[in-house]
Amino acid sequence: MPSPSPLSADDLATALTAGGSGWLVFSLAAILPILWAFAMIMHFARPYILRFLGTLTLRFGGDVWWLSYVLMRDALLTITLALSVIFLMPNLYIGLGLPLTAPLAAVVLLWAMVVKLIGDADDDRRTFQIVSVLLVISSVLYIVPQIYGLESHDQVDALKGIGLDWVPGALTAVGSDGTVNVLAWPILITSMVLFGLTGAALFVRFVMGLGRQSEAGVEANA
Partner 1 sequence: MTPDQVSGLFDAGESFIEGTIAAALVALWLLTVALYLARPYMAANVGKFSLRLGADLWWIIYVALRDILLIQVFLGSFIFFYPDVVGGRDLPITGGLAAVCAFSVLLIKLVTKGDADLRWYRIQVLLLGLGATLYIVPYLLGVQVTQIGTDTSNQLAAFFVSSQNPNLALPLCYLSGAVVGLLALVAVIYNLRQGGAPKIGEES
Question: Does 185 help bind partner 1 (rule: CB under 8 A)?
Answer: no
- Whichever of 56 and 94 has its CB closer to partner 1, that residue is 56
In a 13 Å sphere around the CA of 208, the CA atoms on its Cβ side amount to 6
Question: Using an 8 Å Cβ cutoff, are 94 and 188 in contact?
Answer: yes
Positions in 72-101 near partner 1 (CB under 8 A): none
Choose, by CB under 8 A, the member of 79, 83, 94, 132 that binds partner 1.
Answer: 132
Residue 18: which residues within 8 A CB-CB, separation 6 or more?
Answer: none
Question: Does 212 help bind partner 1 (rule: CB under 8 A)?
Answer: no
Question: Does 151 help bind partner 1 (rule: CB under 8 A)?
Answer: yes
**Minimum distance from CB of 141 to partner 1 (Å)?**
14
Task: Count the site residues for partner 1 by CB under 8 A.
Answer: 56
Question: Using an 8 Å Cβ cutoff, are 110 and 78 in contact?
Answer: no
From the list 174, 146, 169, the residue with the least C-alpha distance to 159 is 169
Which stretch, 112-120, 144-152, 169-177, 190-198, contacts partner 1 (CB under 8 A)? Answer: 144-152
Question: Does 170 help bind partner 1 (rule: CB under 8 A)?
Answer: no
Which stretch, 50-58, 111-119, 182-190, 203-211, contacts partner 1 (CB under 8 A)? Answer: 50-58
Choose, by CB under 8 A, the member of 1, 10, 58, 212 that binds partner 1.
Answer: 58
- Angstrom distance (rounded) from CA 178 to CA 153: 12
- Angstrom distance (rounded) from CA 73 to CA 42: 5
Question: Does 4 help bind partner 1 (rule: CB under 8 A)?
Answer: yes
89 CB burial (10 A radius; 0-12, 13-18, 19+): middle
Question: Does 147 help bind partner 1 (rule: CB under 8 A)?
Answer: yes
- Whichever of 155 and 198 has its CB closer to partner 1, that residue is 155
DSSP one-letter string for 40-96: HHHHHTHHHHHHHHTT-SSHHHHHHHHHHHHHHHHHHHHHHHHHHGGGG-HHHHHHH
Choose, by CB under 8 A, the member of 78, 129, 179, 190 that binds partner 1.
Answer: 129
Positions touching partner 1 (CB under 8 A) are 3-7, 12, 15-16, 19-20, 22-23, 26-27, 30, 33-34, 37-38, 40-41, 44-48, 50-58, 60-61, 64-65, 68, 121-122, 125, 128-129, 132-133, 136, 147-148, 151-155, 158
